[in-house]
């Protein structure tokens, strides 16, 4: 299990306090985050993302999903701008090499041996519990159990099929590409120019004000704006990004206002202005006064 | 592992591998998910909120960081074959074989999306070059534009988790619409339309034998039938036009008899228009007496008729007096008994003179008079000739019976259409494709992969960034799918919304 929280860092030098960089893997050109501490780091930056995979504990339900975490293009852009993320190579150079195979086999053998030992101890404990459990109990039953206990060391077998095996979520252990990670750690990811499209500007501004944002396609808008972490709070706004010089059809405004009032959220028309400021207009449906 | 013995932070930092003791202890893990509590509305920096947030986050991280641990005996082993982009099973398949996978070269195989889903469920372990693939490896190797895209896999996984059976859509294995047509009963629409076509082809029965009527119909018929066979139409034309087009004669046609014309020209509005003519062939009816043998009044009761003027008789013919009595015996001289009404009517009738009518006096010959009569009849019966003897005729002949529904169809400007109309002519486009066939969950028990039957719906995957499908795309999808509704799954990063377009006919207010 994960031993470290996202707070722990490796300090390279005295002056710089380098936060661990988030490794982003591309799958079908979509930015995915797989590792636990990468997910925590992303959350620490105030970015929510969207979980796509089955939850290991209960895979056959859609209520709660598991890793990987899909990042919005704006989220990825923001991480790159803050020099907090970089793309990882999708394959390790020496995948499938003989050395790796050997390591894997050794690991499996070692795991099997340890698990057999643990299984034997576990069985013994169970028998002991059964013996002491019987209070006054017939000594014949106790005797039988004691005999079984003694025989256990010789007769106990731990079949291969009973061995527990891990199906790793993230690319782990043998193939996690240690070189690339080390490189990222030492030099940090390259910075990226902030994007200039309207959506990114709005995202950046709202995030900077402390809001949490997720995508809002099914609400007819660009982003859903939460006052705090979405785990604990409901969304207040539906942000629709419109550029200042773009003319908006009145019917579209009415449609989005209706939508917003139906789901009890305020519609926010967001327009990035000339001096990196964003202009916000909220729509409220009210009667004539 | 090389860094197994060294306690380097770096190694452990990036590894999410469980130790054997942890693996063993995983047997007694709980399988329940904690229930999510109520959300707060507004952050107020209170400790309570902070605590709840921390608790939610911890719960969140513990659920996400949990790794899949399975007994080796419960796992099916497979091997990834990149050249064929499939997973070949090395050990026998489990329960999932009923709805997933296929056989190839005597081996059980799985499609990449099925293999990835089973990996995520913890039922399958896939090896590549003798090393086990992680879920991340599976995503990156199995999902691509060639096989199944990430968005399509999201929809696949979502539906599978709900319990549906999802198979790939293969357009070539769908029966053509014609083949389906043979099994399905004809829709009412089609029957109605065929009937309509038959009506326009068959010769419409014309009750009025006027030449103008038949000619107009023949023209209609010719235009439709000419498209079919030229010979046939020509024959019909011959039959339909026996007489020369003299019905079209207008007043300009010369050669009409002049004696009537003279009569009309002669008088103005005088009642009695019989002036005597000199030197013309006009007869002076006032001087010619026609004896009324049937008259009952005494004064007109001659016993015998005087012989005519000998100058009028030809040759040496001599005519004597004529005895009227035997002639009168041959006539029914009984007085007709009439009621007061009838007597009044009779009086008016005797006074009525067809020649007093202005329109009649304008007619210069019998032909024109006949035309006038035809016109009057047409107006009376609702079928005025001047409307029917042109190129553009009324839509419907009021003298013909027609059902209200059909009449409404005739006068409608916008014809109702259905989704599949014209769809077979559309050329296939690259952007909209059906990905999956979806079958209901409750059919899993008797589901047969070799004969899955009719799917519940067909899935088409897109995202909110893509344009809304236009009518052409919808028609194409409906045509490809046949009679099964097409559902469009729109993927919005983590969310999936399902939309479908349904055919709808506006109700007509007619009950046949």
* pLDDT single digits (tens) A107-124: 899 999 999 999 988 888
pLDDT for position A188: 63
Q: What percent of chain A has pLDDT over 70?
A: 78
pLDDT for position A136: 52
pLDDT for position B319: 84
What is the four-CA torsion angle of B104, B109, B111, B112, rounded to 10 degrees?
-130
Residues of B in contact with A70 (CB under 8 A): 493-494
Nearest to B40 among A10, A25, A232 (CB): A232
Nearest residue of chain A to residue B150 (CA atoms): A28
CA A104, A110, A113, A119 torsion-angle sign:
negative
- Please name the helix (run of DSSP H) or strand (run of DSSP E) that holds residue B113, with its range, or none: helix B112-121
pLDDT for position B146: 85
Q: Do A54 and B149 touch (CB under 8 A)?
A: no
pLDDT in tens, B141-158: 999 888 899 999 999 999
Q: Do B72 and A174 touch (CB under 8 A)?
A: no
Section A249-264 average pLDDT: 91
In order of B21, B128, B317, B495, the CA distances from B125 in angstroms are 21, 10, 136, 28
B28 and chain A in contact, CB less than 8 A = no
Model pTM score: 0.70
Q: Spot the catalytic one: A104, A218, A226, A236.
A: A226
pLDDT for position A202: 94
CA distance A62 to A60: 7
SS3 of residue B129 by DSSP:
coil
Is residue A265 part of the annotated active site? The answer reads yes
SS3 of residue A224 by DSSP:
strand
Q: Do A164 and B67 touch (CB under 8 A)?
A: no
pLDDT for position A49: 94
The pLDDT averaged over each successive group of 10 residues in chain B (512 residues) is 39 66 83 82 84 92 92 93 94 92 92 96 93 92 90 96 92 67 46 35 42 41 41 40 40 45 46 45 77 66 74 84 82 81 88 86 90 85 80 86 84 80 78 90 79 89 89 88 91 92 79 63
Is residue A226 part of the annotated active site? The answer reads yes
**Which residues is A227 bridged to in the sheet?**
none
Expressed in percent and rounded to 5, the helix, strand and coil fractions of chain A are 40, 20, 40
Q: Do B67 and A166 touch (CB under 8 A)?
A: yes
Spatial contact of B49 and B40, defined as CB atoms under 8 Å apart: yes
Residues of B in contact with A169 (CB under 8 A): 16, 67-68, 134-136
CB within 8 A of B264, min separation 6: which ones? B361, B362, B364
Nearest to A1 among B65, B119, B143 (CB): B65
Residues of A in contact with B120 (CB under 8 A): 53-54, 59
- Please name the helix (run of DSSP H) or strand (run of DSSP E) that holds residue B343, with its range, or none: helix B340-351
CA distance B241 to B451: 63
Spatial contact of B285 and B272, defined as CB atoms under 8 Å apart: no
Peptide bond into A68 cis (omega under 30): yes
Phi-psi region for residue B274, left (φ > 0), alpha (ψ -120 to 50) or beta?
beta
- Tell me, rounded to whole angstroms, the distance of Cα A245 from its chain centroid: 38
CA distance B300 to B289: 12
SS3 of residue B317 by DSSP:
coil
Q: Do A215 and B140 touch (CB under 8 A)?
A: no
Is A204 a residue whose pLDDT tops 80?
A: yes
CB within 8 A of B441, min separation 6: which ones? B162, B163, B164, B165
pLDDT for position A269: 94
Q: How confident is the model at residue A92 (pLDDT cuts 50, 70, 90)?
A: low
CA distance B156 to B177: 27
Is A133 a residue whose pLDDT tops 80?
A: no
Poorest-confidence range of A3-12, A277-286, B267-276? A3-12
């Amino acid at each position: 299990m994960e031993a470290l929280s996202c707070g722990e860092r490796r300090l390279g030098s005295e002056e710089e306090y380098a936060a661990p960089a988030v490794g982003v893997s591309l799958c079908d050109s979509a930015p995915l985050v797989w590792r636990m501490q990468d997910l925590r780091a992303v959350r620490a930056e105030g970015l929510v993302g969207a979980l796509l995979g089955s939850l290991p504990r209960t895979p056959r339900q859609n209520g709660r999903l598991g890793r990987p975490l899909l990042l919005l293009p704006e989220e990825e852009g923001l991480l790159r701008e803050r020099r907090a993320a970089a793309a990882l190579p999708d394959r390790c150079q020496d995948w499938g090499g003989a050395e790796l195979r050997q390591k894997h086999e050794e690991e499996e053998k070692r795991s099997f041996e340890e698990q057999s030992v643990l299984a034997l101890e576990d069985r013994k404990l169970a028998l002991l519990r059964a013996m002491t459990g019987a209070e006054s109990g017939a000594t014949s039953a106790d005797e039988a159990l004691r005999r079984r206990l003694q025989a256990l060391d010789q007769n106990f077998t731990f079949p291969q099929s009973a061995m527990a095996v891990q199906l790793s979520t993230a690319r782990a252990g043998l193939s996690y590409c240690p070189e690339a990670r080390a490189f990222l750690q030492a030099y940090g990811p390259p910075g990226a120019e902030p994007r200039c499209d309207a959506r990114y500007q709005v995202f950046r501004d709202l995030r900077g004000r402390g809001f949490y944002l997720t995508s809002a396609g099914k609400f007819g808008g660009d982003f859903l704006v939460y006052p705090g972490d979405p785990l604990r709070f409901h969304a207040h706004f539906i942000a629709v990004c419109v550029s200042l010089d773009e003319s908006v059809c009145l019917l579209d405004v009415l449609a989005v206002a209706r939508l917003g009032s139906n789901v009890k959220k305020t519609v926010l028309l967001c327009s990035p202005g000339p001096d990196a400021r964003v202009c916000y207009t909220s729509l409220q449906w009210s009667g004539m006064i | 592992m090389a860094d197994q013995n060294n306690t380097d932070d770096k190694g452990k930092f990036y590894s999410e591998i469980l130790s054997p003791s942890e693996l063993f202890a995983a047997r007694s893990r709980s399988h329940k998910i904690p229930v999510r509590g109520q959300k707060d509305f507004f952050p107020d920096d209170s400790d309570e909120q902070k605590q709840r947030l921390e608790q939610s986050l911890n719960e969140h991280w513990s659920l996400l960081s949990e790794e899949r641990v399975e007994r080796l005996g419960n796992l099916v082993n497979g091997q990834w074959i990149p050249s064929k982009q499939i997973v070949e099973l090395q050990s026998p398949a489990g329960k999932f074989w009923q709805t997933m996978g296929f056989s190839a070269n005597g081996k059980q195989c799985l499609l990449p999306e099925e293999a990835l889903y089973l990996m995520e469920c913890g039922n399958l372990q896939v090896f590549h070059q003798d090393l086990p693939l992680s879920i991340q490896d599976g995503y990156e190797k199995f999902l691509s534009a060639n096989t199944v895209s990430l968005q399509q896999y999201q929809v696949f996984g979502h539906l599978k988790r709900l319990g549906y059976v999802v198979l790939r859509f293969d357009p070539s294995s769908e029966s053509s619409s014609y083949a389906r047509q043979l099994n399905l009963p004809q829709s009412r629409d089609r029957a109605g339309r065929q009937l309509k076509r038959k009506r326009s082809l068959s010769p419409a029965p014309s009750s009025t034998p006027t030449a103008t009527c038949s000619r107009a119909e023949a023209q209609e018929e010719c235009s439709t039938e000419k498209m079919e066979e030229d010979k046939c139409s020509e024959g019909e034309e011959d039959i339909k036009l026996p007489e020369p087009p003299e019905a079209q004669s207008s007043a300009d046609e010369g050669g009409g008899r002049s004696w009537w014309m003279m009569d009309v020209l002669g008088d103005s509005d005088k009642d009695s228009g019989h002036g005597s003519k000199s030197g013309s062939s006009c007869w002076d009816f006032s001087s010619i007496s026609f004896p009324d043998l049937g008259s009952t009044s005494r004064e007109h009761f001659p016993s015998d008729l005087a012989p005519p003027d000998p100058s009028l008789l030809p040759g040496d013919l001599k005519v004597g007096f004529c005895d009227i009595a035997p002639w009168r015996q041959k006539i029914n001289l009984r007085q007709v008994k009439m009621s007061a009404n009838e007597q009044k009517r009779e009086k008016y009738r005797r006074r009525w003179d067809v020649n007093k009518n202005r329109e009649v006096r304008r007619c210069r010959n019998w032909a024109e008079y006949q035309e006038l009569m035809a016109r009057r009849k047409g107006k009376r019966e609702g079928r005025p000739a001047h409307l029917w003897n042109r190129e553009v005729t009324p839509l419907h002949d009021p003298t013909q019976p027609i059902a209200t529904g059909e009449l409404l169809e005739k006068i409608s400007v916008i014809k109702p259409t259905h989704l599949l109309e014209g769809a077979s002519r559309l050329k296939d486009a690259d952007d909209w494709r059906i990905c999956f066939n979806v079958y209901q969950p409750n059919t899993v028990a008797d589901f047969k992969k070799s004969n899955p039957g009719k799917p519940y719906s067909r899935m088409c995957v897109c995202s909110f960034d893509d344009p809304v499908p236009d009518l052409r795309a919808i028609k194409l999808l409906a045509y490809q799918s046949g009679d099964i509704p097409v559902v469009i799954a729109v993927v919005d990063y983590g969310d999936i919304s399902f939309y479908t377009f349904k055919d709808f006919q506006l109700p007509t207010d007619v009950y046949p």
